[in-house]
């Protein structure tokens, strides 16, 4: 077997290589992290770009087995921000020089929902004089809807594959028409065909998930030639079907370490994509997101959802900063990012270099 010191300097990684890196012990892990940091600096620089995250509604038609805001959870107080509240949050991002916003929420499939998102995208473009970049993350939609939103001004889309293994996918989702693995794959392809910068990702440390699955997830992202990635640890939620399997999960700290390795390996596999430092990292380690920025991630998504609603957007337990307001996040983050040795790309879209090189 090739030693890790040699392995990380190879330009090409087989499935076995990726599995070996995922299993790296403490010493080898440091070599992996150092190499990923070097590649990050070389290809995307030590600049972190902000995406102000607006979790605009927790109303969802789906029933993903891991998610706290799934339709079947009756213990959630459902909310839906008004258009004004959403535009005000975007205005805050603009005034704070964040450069971009993400509209994220439960998945709905209706003409009223499509119209609303289109209206909001146009509204955000208008209030910022076209300056704010817009990422959408509202699940699977038809190619026509994706096109309308793209034409309205959204230019990036996040849709995690959650797991690239069809088997595992159906262990964490109901096996029915609204949760079809094939439909999710098609949605990712539709997004690419429409012209979006496309981001995907997975949860790390799911019950039943193996190292082989995670290696395949990374190779899937490479094969899909994605532009952006957001992936983080799976964190169990009491009001979900997967809670029952909590005894077979890796301890939180190991899930966290595995998530960092996933980010570092992805940076080696795809040098110039954008990789987000997921909020779920911070749910485990108070400086988890900063650790990810040091070893490969270059995007952070400060939460700018009005504080009153944050408690109700609990995808998982222990979600950080649910008692903060947007302005608190801003100050706190600036200090944290400087500490991690990175600069902030204020007022810039910070588009995926990978996407730019392709077009
Ligand atoms: N409804 C949209 C966007 C909101 S959910 C969608 O599903 O695409 C955003 C992400 O939260 C999901 O893609 C999922 O990967 C993550 N998530 C949900 N529940 C989680 C949990 N228990 N632990 C970690 N991440 C979770
Ligand atoms: Fe809905 Fe997204 Fe949660 Fe699935 S992960 S239940 S689609 S909010």
Measured in angstroms, how far is the CA atom of residue 349 from the centroid of ligand 2?
26
| Angle 226-231-234 from CA coordinates, rounded to 5° | 145
pLDDT band for position 68 (cuts 50, 70, 90): very high
Percent of the chain with pLDDT over 70: 100
Q: How many domains does the chain divide into?
A: 1
201 lines ligand 2 (CB under 6 A): no
- Region 282-311: mean pLDDT is 91
pLDDT score of 290:
93
Identify the CATH number of the domain in which residue 42 sits.
3.20.20.70
pLDDT score of 1:
81
Q: Residue 112: count other Cβ atoms within 10 Å of its Cβ.
A: 7
Burial of 32 per CB tally in 10 Å (0-12, 13-18, 19+): buried
Asked whether 229 and 274 are in contact (CB, 8 A), the reply is: yes
Nearest residue (by CA) to ligand 1, atom 11, is: 315
The closest of 199, 359, 187 to 274, measured between CA atoms, is 199
Q: Are strands 203-204 and 228-233 parallel, antiparallel or unpaired?
A: parallel
237 lines ligand 1 (CB under 6 A): yes
In sequence order, what are the beta bridge partners of 197? 156
**pLDDT at position 20 over 90:** yes
Q: Quick: pLDDT tens for 80-122.
A: 999 999 999 999 999 999 999 999 999 999 999 999 999 999 9
Measured in angstroms, how far is the CA atom of residue 62 from the centroid of ligand 2?
6
What mean pLDDT is reported for the chain? 95
pLDDT score of 44:
96
Instruction: Determine the residue of 56, 60, 183, 319 to mutate for testing ligand 2's pocket, defined as the one with the most ligand atoms within 8 A of the Cβ atom.
Output: 60
106 lines ligand 2 (CB under 6 A): yes
- Buried b / exposed e over 197-229, threshold 16 CB at 10 Å, is bbbbbbbbbbbebeeebbbbbbbbbeebebbbb
Q: Quick: pLDDT tens for 346-357.
A: 999 999 999 999
Parent domain of 203? 4-358
Which residues, other chains included, contact 56 with Cβ-Cβ below 8 Å and sequence gap of 6+? 80, 81, 85, 86, 103, 104, 105, 120, 305
**pLDDT at position 158 over 80:** yes
Q: Quick: pLDDT tens for 328-341.
A: 777 788 888 888 88
For ligand 1, what atom is nearest to the CA of residue 203? 15
- Region 6-34: mean pLDDT is 96
Asked whether 125 and 132 are in contact (CB, 8 A), the reply is: yes
| Strand residues in 100-250 grouped as ranges (E) | 100-105, 133-137, 156-158, 197-200, 203-204, 228-233
**pLDDT at position 322 over 80:** no
pLDDT score of 121:
98
pLDDT band for position 312 (cuts 50, 70, 90): confident
Asked whether 132 and 99 are in contact (CB, 8 A), the reply is: yes
Count of CA atoms in the C-beta half-sphere (13 A) of 90: 29
Q: Quick: pLDDT tens for 211-235.
A: 999 999 999 999 999 999 999 999 9
For ligand 1, what atom is nearest to the CA of residue 67? 19
For ligand 1, what atom is nearest to the CA of residue 137? 3
Q: Quick: pLDDT tens for 238-281.
A: 999 999 999 999 999 999 999 999 999 999 999 999 999 999 99
**pLDDT at position 3 over 90:** yes
- Region 158-177: mean pLDDT is 98
Burial of 69 per CB tally in 10 Å (0-12, 13-18, 19+): buried
- Region 139-160: mean pLDDT is 98
260 lines ligand 1 (CB under 6 A): no
d(CA 161, CA 12): 24
- CA Rg, the chain, in Å? 19
d(CA 325, CA 335): 16
Q: Which ligand is nearest to the CA of 314?
A: 1
Which residues, other chains included, contact 82 with Cβ-Cβ below 8 Å and sequence gap of 6+? none
**pLDDT at position 191 over 90:** yes
Measured in angstroms, how far is the CA atom of residue 129 from the centroid of ligand 1?
31
Measured in angstroms, how far is the CA atom of residue 128 from the centroid of ligand 1?
28
- Region 164-187: mean pLDDT is 98
What DSSP element (H or E) covers 205?
Answer: none
106 lines ligand 1 (CB under 6 A): yes
């Amino acid at each position: 077997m090739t030693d890790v010191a040699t392995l990380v300097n190879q330009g090409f990684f087989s499935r076995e290589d990726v599995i070996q890196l995922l299993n790296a012990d403490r010493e080898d892990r440091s070599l992996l992290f150092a190499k990923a940091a070097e590649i990050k600096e070389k290809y995307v620089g030590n600049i972190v770009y902000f995406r102000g995250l607006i979790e605009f509604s927790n109303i969802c038609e789906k029933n993903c087995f891991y998610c706290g805001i799934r339709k079947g959870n009756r213990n959630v107080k459902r909310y839906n921000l008004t258009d004004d509240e959403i535009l005000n949050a975007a205005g805050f991002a603009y005034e704070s020089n964040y450069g971009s916003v993400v509209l994220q929420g439960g998945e709905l499939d209706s003409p009223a929902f499509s119209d609303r998102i289109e209206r909001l995208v146009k509204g955000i473009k208008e209030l910022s004089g076209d300056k704010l970049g817009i990422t959408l993350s509202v699940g699977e939609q038809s190619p026509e809807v994706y096109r309308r939103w793209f034409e309205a001004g959204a230019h990036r889309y996040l849709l995690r594959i959650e797991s690239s293994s069809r088997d595992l996918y159906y262990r964490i989702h109901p096996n029915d028409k609204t949760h079809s693995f094939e439909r999710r794959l098609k949605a990712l392809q539709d997004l690419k065909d429409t012209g979006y910068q496309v981001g995907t990702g997975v949860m790390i440390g799911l019950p039943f998930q193996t190292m082989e699955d995670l290696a395949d997830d990374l190779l899937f992202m490479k094969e899909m030639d994605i532009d952006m990635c957001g992936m983080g640890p799976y964190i169990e939620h009491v009001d979900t079907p997967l809670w029952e399997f909590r005894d077979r999960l890796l301890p939180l700290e190991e899930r966290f370490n595995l998530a960092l390795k996933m980010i570092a390996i992805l940076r080696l596999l795809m040098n110039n994509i954008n990789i987000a430092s997921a909020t779920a990292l911070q749910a485990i380690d108070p400086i988890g997101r900063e650790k990810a920025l040091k070893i490969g991630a270059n995007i952070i998504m400060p939460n700018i959802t009005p504080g009153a609603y944050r408690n109700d957007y609990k995808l998982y337990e222990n979600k950080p900063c649910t008692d903060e307001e947007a302005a608190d996040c801003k100050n706190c983050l600036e200090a944290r990012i400087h500490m991690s040795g990175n600069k902030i790309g204020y007022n810039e879209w910070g588009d995926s270099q990978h996407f730019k090189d392709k077009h």
